Amino acid sequence: MMQLDLTRVDYLQVGITCQKTMQVLPLTSKTQKIVVGDNDGQLQCFGLRKGQVQTLFQASKKNQISRVVLGGQIGGVRDRIFTSAGTEVNAFTKKGKNFLTFDTGITEPVQSIYVEGTDLLACGNFGFNHYCDCKESSYFLSSDKINDVICLPREKWNGLTPVLACQDRVLRVLQGSDVLYEAEVPGPPVVVELFGNNGGDEGNEILYGTSDGRIGLMQIGTLAPVHRWELPNMKRAGGVLCLDSYDITADGVLDLLVGRDDGQVEVYSYDEANEPVFRYCYTGSESITSVKGGVVAAAGFDEIVCANYAGWVFALTTEQLVKEVGLQKAAPDPVVTAKISNLKSELEGLQKQVSDERAKYHESAHSTKTVSAVPFFPINDKFVLNKDDASYSLSLELQSPIDNILLQSDVPVDLLDIEKNSAVVSYSACNPEDGNFLLATYRCQANTTRLEMKIRSIEGQYGTLQVYVTPRIQPKTCQLKQYPIKPLSLHQRIHAFDENRPHNTLTLKGQFSQAEVHSWLTFCLPEIPERPPAMDPAVFYFASTFLDTQLLCLYRKGEAVFKSDNISSISILKDVLSKEATKKKIRLDISFDINDDSVTHTLRLIHPKLEEQLLLAKKVQLIDALKELQVNEPDLSFMAPEYQEILKESEKLKAEFKRQPSHLERLYGMITDLYIDKFKFKGQNVKSKVPALLELLDTYELDSLIAFFENSA
């Protein structure tokens, strides 16, 4: 397969950009034009001539532009530009004529739009509106946040079939104002696009990307969805923010372009079985908010046009810009030289202006009456639970370079190092009496605008993680961001519940409203929508990312029922909820039904994980010794096959071991909690027996462990 060799070229910089706010207009002459909208409300359409940016038109809106999409006649060319800003949707011709300004009239700002012919789909955070010729024709209220919207192409599908990507891990397929069905996807979907830009042969295949970095293709059948393929996020890359289909490899088949929030742009081709194959990866330092394929700079050269969070519009082009590969230097391009000198003089002017202002600012400090107030700076942050290793990823991104970050937590959490971070981390001694369980500073390298951190929480211990971000901009300020560490922080929403497991049940009764109990749940569990659901009773299912145990929450006015096969989850909920209710001075009747089989069941669930970890640890321990033998012995055939296997797979084993630091300790912790919780419900305190339990775990055997749990009453 041909090696893709792409070179980055920067075109221009606009303000901070939202997801999917850059589009490449269809080809009209030799090259295509780019249109981009930013958070300052500026819409800019430009093309390139001889490497110079030529602006075609600009338009400015008061509100930040949240989406830029293209529309056109059904089956025709999509060459009209639609933007959403605030509650308004605007449409422009490719020449820049603002031929439509439409106020949707919805109460919240429009977050995502899609245009199909004369149909406009506009979504706020929860509401979906469908306008036909600017007249509202249907409406749907989603139970969780809508991240993106699309509809199947009309030329192949008669009716309008909108698809909403919702935060609660489902794609909702609508028909009119009703849900046709919900299609579960492996992570919270953030972006949906038509496969191959037209939905495939049948016009019903859509690509989705999730915030935990997965990509998949789903066929939206008339009755049920069909999962075609799914790309797991093996490399722990960032979340997907944008997708496109474009033939960058010039092999006649459309390729998949992916933009991620950790700055990666990836290219996948499809193999004979139409499964994606990784081809190319570019690693930038800022979130890629939009990605599109096109021919922009020079005719005949395909490029991937990207926009990133900081507002850079750049391309990865197939054109060889450095003419001679190697150490020889290409002759300086006069255009570029002019560009540089332009920039330089511009900078000089700015520098002067800034020093004037700086002096003025300092002057103001002599005055007794003035105040100093520096405006907020936008922070693009994400705090998500990773399913694979049951830890939280925190990413922070600024428009300007970060100077330092201070992390503070009032609950015990572990801060894990991330290889690709270049910032120097330093842990400070802290005193739990001051409410500090973690104090760490990250001192960043120059030009670091994005930083990722990994945090491991312990279920049952809850509080707040506070992050103070200081950018390298004068006057120096810092901003505080808070992230709750919830009591059941390692749980994740699911959409199915296995009734056959042995369950423990906790029932709360009292004078509380559904909204109240909803707010308690929001306090306890992640991924609960802000708004109380309209269902009565409301039901949510969760699964522990660490142990795969499940939890059911069912509540209505005056009653809440929790069911879980893990007694620890129930115990935590009981403690936290009774505390919350006491705070609100609400009397609760708490009753529980403990199923002793559930403990054995949970132990059996843990068993394979624990065994695998123990085996892995043992194997890793042996590697060095075996390696030494290998050095001494030219022929290793005398070794037991298992040892030979270890040697052969040593790299893989080591990598796996490294990927799950202190996994074993966490499992031990869970088992200990389980043990304590089991007897807590029986009114016994067994803390004194924990050392005996730990001793038993050292020589782990499932049966003896189960026996220990059962006999030590």
Partner 1 sequence: MLVPIFTLKLNHKVVPQTVAVGKYDGRHPALTCATTGGKVLVHSPHTKRQEYNQDISLLNINQQITSLAAGRLDPEADGDLLVVGSPTNILVYDINNNRDVFYKDCPDGANTVIIGMLGSFTSPLTLVGGNCSIQGYNKLGEDTFWTVTGDNVRSLCLADFDGDGMNELIVGSEDYDIRIFREDEIIAEMTETEVITNLCRLNEYRFGYALSNGTVGVYDGSIRAWRIKSKNRAVTTHGFDLNGDGVLELITGWSNGKIDARSDKTGEVIFKDNFDHSIAGIVQADYRLDSNAKGDQLICVSVEGEVKGFNPATGEVGTTLMNTNVEQETIRELSLRKQNLMLELKNYAENSKLALSGEAAVLAAALSGDLGRKNGAQGKGGFPGLKGLMPGGNSSGFDTSGGGGDGALRPGQTGLIAGQSSGGAPMGPGGQLALAGLLGSPGHSLIPGGQSQSGEFPNFKLGASSLGESGRTMGMIPANTQLETSILVNPGNQNVPPFVELKIATTNDTIIRAALIFAEGIFEGESHVIHPSAAAVSNSVSVPLIPPKDVPVDLHIKAMIGQKNSSHFHVFELTRELPRFSMFVLVDNEQPDPRSSVHFTLNERPQRAFMWLNQNFLLSQNLVCEGDLHVTFFSLRGSGLLRIRMSQAGQFAIHTDDMDLAGNVIQSLAEFLKIEDLQTIVDFPVETETLKQILIKVDELHRVRTKLTAEMADHSNLIRSMVVRAEDARIMGDMKSMRRGYMELSDLNRDLVAGYNIRCNNHQELVLGLKQINQIIQKASRVRVGKYKNQVVTLCRTAIKNNNTSSLFKIINTGVA
Instruction: Write out the binding residues for partner 1, residues 610-629 only, by CB under 8 A.
Output: 624, 627-628
Q: Hey, which residues between 480 and 509 contact partner 1 (CB under 8 A)?
A: 480-482
Return the residues of window 373-392 that contact partner 1 according to CB under 8 A: 373-377
Among 132, 141, 224, 322, binds partner 1 (CB under 8 A): 322
SS3 120: strand
Q: At closest approach, how far in Å is the CB of 87 from partner 1?
A: 23
Q: Does 345 bind partner 1 (CB under 8 A)?
A: no
Binder to partner 1 among 63, 477, 644, 712 (CB under 8 A)? 477
For the record, the structure tokens of 680 come out as 């807590």
Q: Which is nearer to partner 1, 234 or 365 (CB)?
A: 365
| Contacting residue, 17, 129, 204, 399, with partner 1 by CB under 8 A | 399
Q: Is 474 in the site for partner 1 (CB under 8 A)?
A: yes
- Taking the complex as a whole, how short is the minimal distance between the CB of residue 427 and partner 1, in angstroms? 5
Give 334 or 608: the residue with its C-beta nearer to partner 1. 334
- Report the nearest approach of partner 1 to the CB of residue 321 (Å): 6
Q: Is 53 in the site for partner 1 (CB under 8 A)?
A: no
Of the candidates 181, 272, 200, 266, the residue with the CA atom closest to the CA atom of residue 231: 266
Measured distance between the N- and C-terminal CA atoms of the chain, rounded to whole angstroms: 65
465 binds partner 1 (CB under 8 A): no
Is residue 253 within the footprint of partner 1 (CB under 8 A)? no
Minimal distance in Å, beta carbon 376 to partner 1?
6
Q: Is 635 in the site for partner 1 (CB under 8 A)?
A: no
**Footprint on residues 400-459 left by partner 1 (CB under 8 A):** 400-401, 403-404, 406, 408, 417, 419, 421-430, 434-436, 439-441, 443, 445-448
Comparison of 336 and 694: residue with beta carbon closer to partner 1: 336
> Could you say whether residue 3 binds partner 1 (CB under 8 A)?
no
283 contacts partner 1 (rule: CB under 8 A): no
What element of type H or E holds 615? helix 596-632
Which is closer to partner 1, CB of 357 or CB of 548?
Answer: 357
Find out whether 670 and 547 touch, Cβ atoms under 8 Å: yes
Q: Cβ contacts of residue 243 below 8 Å, gap of 6+?
A: 191, 193, 207, 208, 209, 215, 256, 257, 258, 259, 291
| One-letter identity of residue 162 | P
Residue 327 touches partner 1, criterion: CB under 8 A: yes
Considering only 131-139, 257-265, 468-476, 589-597, which stretch makes contact with partner 1 by CB under 8 A? 468-476
The Cα–Cα gap between 625 and 107 comes to 67
Restricting to residues 586-615, name those near partner 1 by CB under 8 A. Answer: none
Could you give the CA distance from residue 168 to residue 170 in angstroms, rounded to a whole number?
A: 6
CB closer to partner 1 out of 340 and 615: 340
Nearer to partner 1, 205 or 286 (CB): 286
Asked if omega into 487 is within 30° of 0 (cis), the reply is no
Cβ of residue 315: shortest distance to partner 1, in angstroms? 11
Token pair, residue 627, equals 């390696």
Q: Is-contact 229 250, C-beta < 8 A?
A: no
Range 471-479, long-range pairs (CB < 8 A, 24+ positions) = 471/377, 471/398, 471/400, 471/401, 471/402, 471/403, 472/400, 472/401, 472/402, 472/403, 472/446, 473/377, 473/400, 474/358, 475/361, 475/372, 475/374, 476/403, 477/374, 477/377, 478/406, 479/376, 479/377, 479/379
Out of 354, 535, 615, 692, which residue is the one contacting partner 1 (CB under 8 A)? 354
What does each C-alpha distance from 450 to 311, 413, 472 come to in angstroms? 14, 22, 13
Amino acid at 329: K
Q: Judged by CB under 8 A, which stretch of 345-353, 512-520, 537-545, 641-649 contacts partner 1?
A: 345-353
Angle at 428 between CA 422 and CA 431, to 5 degrees: 150
- Applying CB under 8 A, the span of 23-31, 156-164, 477-485, 671-679 interacting with partner 1 comes to 477-485
Contact between residue 529 and residue 144 where contact means Cβ atoms under 8 Å apart: yes
Instruction: Determine if 365 is a binding residue for partner 1 (CB under 8 A).
Output: yes
- Three-state SS for 691? helix
Number of residues that bind partner 1 (CB under 8 A): 94
d(C-alpha 431, C-alpha 277), whole Å? 51
User: Can residue 704 be called a binding residue for partner 1 (CB under 8 A)?
Assistant: no
Residue 648, interface with partner 1 (CB under 8 A)? no
Label the pairing between strands 135-141 and 402-409: unpaired
Residue 402, burial from CB neighbour count under 10 angstroms (0-12, 13-18, 19+):
buried
**Of the two residues 183 and 402, which places its CB atom closer to partner 1 in the complex?**
402
CA 370 to centroid of chain Cα atoms? 42
Task: Give the nearer residue to partner 1 in terms of CB position, either 627 or 687.
Answer: 627
Calpha distance 161→159 (Å, rounded): 6
Q: Is 586:516 a contact under the CB 8 Å cutoff?
A: yes
Considering only 250, 253, 343, 694, the residue that binds partner 1 (CB under 8 A) is 343
Q: Select from 362, 579, 584, 687 the one that contacts partner 1 (CB under 8 A).
A: 362
Among 62, 360, 583, 652, binds partner 1 (CB under 8 A): 360
Q: Are 59 and 92 in contact (CB under 8 A)?
A: yes
Which listed residue (326, 641, 683, 691) binds partner 1 by CB under 8 A?
A: 326
Nearest approach, Cβ of 441 to partner 1 (angstroms)?
A: 4
Minimum distance from residue 465 beta carbon to partner 1 (Å): 12
Q: Which of residues 519-538 bind partner 1 (CB under 8 A)?
A: none
- DSSP, residue by residue, 659-685: HSTTHHHHHHHHHHHHHHHHHHTTT--
> With binding defined as CB under 8 A, does residue 472 bind partner 1?
yes
> What token pair was written down for 440?
């760490």
Judged by CB, which is closer to partner 1: 7, or 87?
7
236 binds partner 1 (CB under 8 A): no
Burial zone of 30 (CB within 10 Å; 0-12 exposed, 13-18 middle, 19+ buried):
exposed
Determine the Cα–Cα distance for residues 325 and 327; give it in Å rounded to an integer.
7
Please count the residues of the chain: 713
Q: Which one among 1, 631, 640, 713 touches partner 1, defined by CB under 8 A?
A: 631
The interface region with partner 1, picked from 6-14, 109-117, 162-170, 197-205 by CB under 8 A, is 6-14
Whole-angstrom distance, CA of residue 409 vs CA of residue 384: 17
Measured from the CB of residue 482, what is the shortest distance to partner 1 in angstroms? 8
Q: How far is the CB of 663 from partner 1 (least distance, A)?
A: 22
CB of 24 to partner 1, least distance (A): 21
353/582 with CB nearer partner 1: 353
CA gap 62, 288 in Å, rounded = 24
Q: Which stretch binds partner 1 (CB under 8 A): 94-102, 230-238, 318-326, 694-702?
A: 318-326
Tell me how far, at minimum, the Cβ of 671 lies from partner 1, in Å. 32
